[in-house]
Amino acid sequence: MSDTPHASDQELLLALDGELDAHQAQLIEQHLLHCAACRARRDQLQQALVEFLELHRRKAPAIPPAEAASARLKAALAELTSQPRAKRWGLVARSLLAAGIFGALLLLAALLESRRPPGPLPDPRLTPGAARILPRQQVCSMVKPPGARAVSQALADQVFRQYGIGKPRPGAYELDYLISPELGGLDDIQNLWPQPYSEGEWNSRVKDALEEHLRRLVCDGRLELATAQREIAKDWIAAYRKYFGSLRPIAEHAFFVKDLPWD
Amino acid sequence: MESVWRIARSVPGVASTDSRLSVEREVSALFAELRAPLLRYMHSLGLSVSDGEDVVQEVFLQLFRHLAAGKPRDNLRGWVFRVGHNLARKHRQRQLRQAPGGVVELEMTDEASNPEEQIRNLALQRRLMSVVQALSERDRQCLVLRAEGLRYREIAEALGMSLGAVASSLSRSLGKLAITGERYE
């Protein structure tokens, strides 16, 4: 902190973006408690950041699904590593393609209203969903270790920041796969978004209940995996209403615990 | 394809198949994480998405070589954006020499629910755009990289700036954006 009575824009922004060390962050925090002018300025800066994020998304081009680019990279890497291997990997890459194992979804759902904090539905421009088709046995056998955190801290930071959250409140969000890994969802940035963990009616616990239900339907052969992926990516709330036949979340699902929040 | 073989010959011997596979896996994981943000960033530098895809491929082949050679890996996100930034600029300069002009036009659309909101949003966006356009190129690049979710140390690596310079660039730009917002609300 400087010796002026107010925190500078830079100090406020560093605090907002979680770029200060613990000691400095605490000093700013304390100052903000007593300085209404600084709190107001911090809110203006946060608002400016969120408005710029929105502008940036509006100007951004649509990004084609990743599978063609990803197959191209795999093939190039295979050729690059060693020539005998190249043949084998080229074959694998081609057969994977031919079998249509890589399927990714780029869905243009209705756009979110501008400048809204992350809600129960992701921004389709940032998180259109990305998935591949899994064999049914795998959908049936897929067991995710409880509490496993597959997403690296660096990727998590990036996703939160894209959504204008510099420093997530501990326990407030689940860094959720739009299409869950159990349903073929990929570890792609286009398949991840910060979902409010238990705030609001349509929270991540309710979505977890839907994912489990869809997984069982696919496993039992009552639903095509591709359909499940498409519907959950397009509007998971609509999918919930459809598959549970309930306009509002069923009470017990609010307590359904599968994934832990990000802390 | 030619460039691929050129790289292939220059790849230093990698110790074992295991480590080569783990490098491949790491490159694929970073590709999944960074392709879309990198394409959007390069688009902001004036590159079309299809040209961007070519550049992205080159970036990740270079990343493979970088990792296979055991070079520093403490700031790979920053590294990827630095290489992407440099290659995109070279690509863009070549394009401009061949066909001058052809600036990517930024169009503003609005899908908000009602007309009043659309008008309000469009007016707000125009104000923001005019502030953003008045920023220096460097300040704009910092802002776009922040919008793509990079941490300050990653932005610093990507643009070859100090950490302090990134912080002051971002606070300067957002300070200006915040002031316009206040004046018109």
Query: Do residue B51 and residue B86 come from a single domain?
Result: yes
Residue B178 has pLDDT above 50, yes or no: yes
Assess if residue B110 is contained within a domain.
no
Asked if A128 contacts A190 with a C-beta cutoff of 8 angstroms, the reply is: yes
Burial string for B50-80 (b: 16+ CB within 10 Å, else e) reads: ebbbebbbbbbbbbbbbbbeeeeeebbbbbb
Of residues A45 and A93, the one with the higher pLDDT is: A45
Task: For chain A, give the percent of residues with pLDDT over 90.
Answer: 44
Contact criterion met (CB < 8 Å) for A66 and B174: no
Q: Report the distance separating Cα A248 and Cα A241, nearest Å.
A: 7
Q: Report the distance separating Cα B61 and Cα B79, nearest Å.
A: 13
Q: Report the distance separating Cα A205 and Cα A260, nearest Å.
A: 9
Assess if residue B107 is contained within a domain.
no
CATH number of the domain within which B48 lies: 1.10.1740
Give the structural domain span for A41: 9-59
Q: A214-234 pLDDT, tens per residue?
A: 999 999 999 999 999 999 999
CATH number of the domain within which B139 lies: 1.10.10.10
Lowest mean pLDDT among A196-200, B74-78, B172-176: A196-200
A159 in B contact zone (CB under 8 Å): yes
Residue A93 has pLDDT above 70, yes or no: no
Q: What pLDDT is attached to residue A5?
A: 79
B109 in A contact zone (CB under 8 Å): yes
Q: A142-158 pLDDT, tens per residue?
A: 665 444 457 888 889 89
Contact criterion met (CB < 8 Å) for A66 and B36: yes
> In 10 A of CB B41, how many CB atoms?
25
Q: B103-144 pLDDT, tens per residue?
A: 554 444 445 556 777 777 788 888 889 999 999 999 999 999
Q: Which chain B positions have a beta carbon within 8 Å of A59's beta carbon?
A: 44, 106, 108
Number of domains observed in the structure of chain B: 2
Residue B14 has pLDDT above 70, yes or no: no
**What ipTM was reported for this prediction?**
0.83
Assess if residue B108 is contained within a domain.
no
